[in-house]
Structure 1
Amino acid sequence: MQASASNPRALLIIDMQVGMFSSHPPPFEGERVLANINTLIARARAAGAPIYAVRHTGPAGSPLAPDSALTQLLPALAVDPARDHVFVKTRPNCFVGTGLAQWLAEAGVAELVIAGMKTEYCVDATCRAALDLGLRAVLIEDAHSTANTPALDARDIIAHHNRTLNGPFVSLARTADFAF
């Protein structure tokens, strides 16, 4: 899947931060997901596609307080804050209370490529919101993750969201098949 000049793409990496990635239980196939996201970053950078990385923060005094080490991007994530757009959100939807929609519009982005954490929260909310904003969204099915919950295994949560979002909200792609 490759974009044309009239269909510029951008990469959005959601919540690949210390607190989300080092949770207990850990994210499903976290190291594979991180490697896939780094592959996507390299491809986006080589194609000149904009890269956006968002960090989730909570209120002061919470585990995800804005100054907490848990809100920092993973050191192994290939995001470069000097050239990529790194921003903060406080809600699951990456567009609420941020400049993301405006930045994408200013860059002429028509299609948003989505990867990151957590599948059933911020990834889901952002995929659904992109459509409402007139953006096409591509969810990289092997580049998002979550952790097991008492009710469901992470593998089932991810598979469910891939099936549910595919069609009405996003198109699915695999890292190995995706090009910017």
Structure 2
Amino acid sequence: MATALFVIDIQNDLATDPTTRIPHADRITAAGRRILSAARGVTKPSTGTPELIIFVQHEEKPEDGPLVPGSAPWGLVFEPQLGAACERLVAKQTRDTFESNPALDFELKKLGVSSIIAFGIQSECCVESTCNGALAAGLEVTLLSGAHSTYSDSSSGKSAVQIEREVEERLRKKGAQVMPWEDAVAAWENAEK
């Protein structure tokens, strides 16, 4: 059975704009570069190596936020490679990629995908919601620890890293696996040897 790698909402507003980006944006983009390089380098798929890469891009109406299609904030930091049949762009208008794209689980299963590996921005919003959507669709889920993050929450006093850990714990309780992104990359690279 195949695995799909979900790259969730690593968009300019959240990751590169110095006035709006999340506190740990540099860590997420550096991890993303390594993860994508390793995933794209897999030529001998084995258990747990991604065979499909889904780039998720959030869209908003101008009155709802800055991620307006065609705008600079909406742009992706990482994009599908032109002509790469195993890389796809998926737009969404809700936190859960599966809710925004009701046929997505069917399309993935038709391609033999039984599990997803996820990372991106924001941990407690679109990352967690998409993982929950995948679990509800009957897919196995692995969240890459260290490769997802969010804003700190001043109202609760929780740091971004505390929120990351809480999301990981909630997803673990629902049956998801949480793995350091470095371990996933090492496994994919070792599968090539």
- Which TM-score applies when normalising by structure 2? 0.81
Is contact 1:28-1:146 (8 Å) kept? yes
Please report how far the alpha carbon of residue 25 of structure 1 lies from its aligned counterpart in structure 2 after TM superposition: 5.6
Deviation string, structure 1 residues 119-156 (Cα, Å, up to 9, x no partner): 01001111111111010000001110101122221111
Equivalent position of 1:150 in the other structure: 154
How far apart, CA to CA, are the structure 2 residues paired with 1:26 and 1:17?
A: 9
Q: Select 1:134's aligned residue among 133, 138, 145.
A: 138
Q: 1:117 maps to which residue?
A: 121
Runs of 4+ in 1 over 3 A off after TM superposition: 23-26
Matched, 1:64 2:58: no
Q: CA RMSD in A?
A: 1.9
Cα 1:66–1:79 change in 2 (3 A) is same
Q: Which residue of 1 aligns with 2:5?
A: 11
Check if 1:29 corresponds to 2:24. Answer: yes
Structure 2 unaligned segments of length 5 or more: list them.
Answer: 44-50, 189-193
Runs of 5+ consecutive residues of structure 1 not aligned to the other structure: 1-6
Amino acid at match of 2:97: C
State the secondary structure of the residue aligned to 2:106.
helix
**Aligned match of 1:46 in 16, 27, 41?**
41
Identify if the C-alpha distance between structure 1 residues 169 and 122 changes in structure 2 by more than 3 Å, giving closer, same or farther.
farther
Equivalent position amino acid for 2:8 in 1: I
In structure 2, give the amino acid aligned to 1:164.
R
Q: Any idea what SS the aligned residue of 1:69 has? A: coil
* Higher gyration radius (CA): 2
Amino acid in structure 2 at the alignment position of 1:153: S
> Residues 12 and 105 from structure 1, CA distance in 2 versus in 1: closer, same or farther, beyond 3 angstroms?
same
Report if the CA contact (8 A) 2:55-2:90 is conserved: yes
Question: How many residues align structurally?
Answer: 172
Q: Secondary structure at the match of 2:26?
A: helix
**TM-score if structure 1 supplies the norm length?**
0.86
